[in-house]
Amino acid sequence: METTNQLAARLIANPATGRERPGLEWALRWTSDGQGKELVVAELSSGTSVTDLGDLLEWFFRSEARLVSATPGLDTAEHRVALVASAIIDVSSWERERLSGRIAWMRAEGMTLDAIADQLNDEGTPTNSGEARWQPSSVQAAIGDRGPETDNRSDAL
C-alpha cells in the first residue's frame, strides 16, 4: 500500500504533460502540514481520469482533510459524498488492478516492455504513475516487477 507521500507525489505530476502541478503541490503541502484542513476549488476538471480523481479523494481521506469543489458540487464532509467518493476510490483501485492484469497478460504473450509501452501510448491509456507517456520502466512497475529490465529495444534488435 502506498504512503500518503507517495500518493501525493503521483498526484502532483500532470498525466497530460508529464510536468508537475505547482498549485496542487502547494495545496497538498499546505493541507498536510496542518495549515489548513480543507481545500475549496472552483472545479475538478483538468482532464482528470477516474484513477486520478480516486487518488485525489484517497489523499484527502487519508489526510483527514476536506475537499470542496463547486463543480461538480462535491464536499467530502457530506456523508452521501463520502460514500460516492469511497466508490470512486474503489473503482480507481480496480482500474489499476485491471490494467496490471492486462499488462501481465501481454508479457505472458511474449510482448517486450517496449512493445507494451508503445501499444498503451497508442491507445492513450493513462499511466499509473502520472507520467505523460508509458515507458518500459512504468510498464515494469505496473506489474510489480522490480527486477532489472533485460528486454529493451537494443536487445530486441
How does pLDDT run across 49-71, given as a tens digit for each residue? 677 778 788 888 888 888 888 77
Per-residue pLDDT, 38: 80
At 22, list the grid cell: 505547482
- Domain range for 116: 4-156
How does pLDDT run across 78-91, given as a tens digit for each residue? 878 888 888 888 88
How does pLDDT run across 118-155, given as a tens digit for each residue? 999 999 888 876 677 899 988 988 887 644 444 444 34
CB neighbourhood size of 119 (10 A) = 15
Per-residue pLDDT, 6: 52
Per-residue pLDDT, 122: 94
Domain holding 100: CATH number?
Answer: 3.40.50
Domains in the chain: how many in total?
1
Give pTM, 2 decimals.
0.57
Q: How far apart are CA 117 and CA 129, in angstroms?
A: 13
